[in-house]
Amino acid sequence: MQFRTTSAEATREIAAALEPLLRPGDVVLLSGDLGAGKTVFTQGLATALGVTEQVTSPTFTLAQSFQGRMRLHHLDVYRLDNLGEVLDLDLPELLDDDAVVCVEWGEVVIPELPRDFLRVRISLASPREHPDIRMFDVDTVGPSWQARASALAEAWHVHSPSGVERC
C-alpha cells in the first residue's frame, strides 16, 4: 500500500486513522532515514490512543511507555548496533504486554518480532524541491494484519496501487 503526505499534520492524521484498527499486542515497525517522520507518525498514533504525554524521540532511553486506551511502548533502536542490545531491552516482555509497540529503526528487531506486524516505510520523495512530501510504503505482514489490509486501505482511502495524496 502506497501513499504520500505533504505535511507533518497529514502524517499525524494517517497515523490516527490507523488507531481504531489496533489491537493489544500489535507491532508497528517504522523505518526511514533520520527526519523521515517516524516519531511524527508515533505522535499521531499516541494522541489517537488518548496518550496525553508528549511523545519524543527517546534519545537516551531506548524505550518509553505511555498509557492510553491501550498501553503504548515506543522504541527507538537507532543507536543500537547489535541484536544483543536490543534483547537487553526486554523486548519479549514489551511484546507480551497486550500493548501497542511502535519501533523506530525496527529492521534490526525483525527476527525477534511476532510473525504479524505492520511495516511502515517512510521516505522523502524529493528533499530539495518538496521537503515536506513523504512517501509511505506499508506492508501488512502476517495473517492478522493481512486480514485488516482492506480495512486499512479504507481508513486511509488508498483505493489504487498508486495511492493517494494527503495534504
Give the three cell numbers for residue 59.
534519545
- The residue from 38, 119, 134, 166 that contacts Mg ion (CB under 5 A) is 38
Pick from 156, 151, 154: nearest CA to 137:
156
Site membership for Mg ion, residue 64 (CB under 5 A) = no
Taking the complex as a whole, the smallest distance from the CB of residue 135 to ligand ADP amounts, in Å, to 9
Residues 113-132 within binding reach of ligand ADP (CB under 6 A):
132
Pick from 140, 94, 92: nearest CA to 117:
140
Residues 133-152 within binding reach of ligand ADP (CB under 6 A):
134
Q: Cα–chain-centroid distance for residue 118? A: 8
Neighbours of 79 (CB within 10 A): 10
Distance CA 46, CA 22 (A): 12
Taking the complex as a whole, the smallest distance from the CB of residue 55 to ligand ADP amounts, in Å, to 10
| Partner that binds at residue 68, options ligand ADP, Mg ion, none, CB closer than 5 to 8 Å by kind | none
Q: Which residues contact 81 (CB under 8 A, 6 or more apart)?
A: none
- Mask for 70-109, x = binds Mg ion (CB under 5 A): ----------------------------------x-----
Residues in contact with ligand ADP by CB under 6 A are: 5-8, 10-11, 32, 34-40, 57, 104, 132, 134
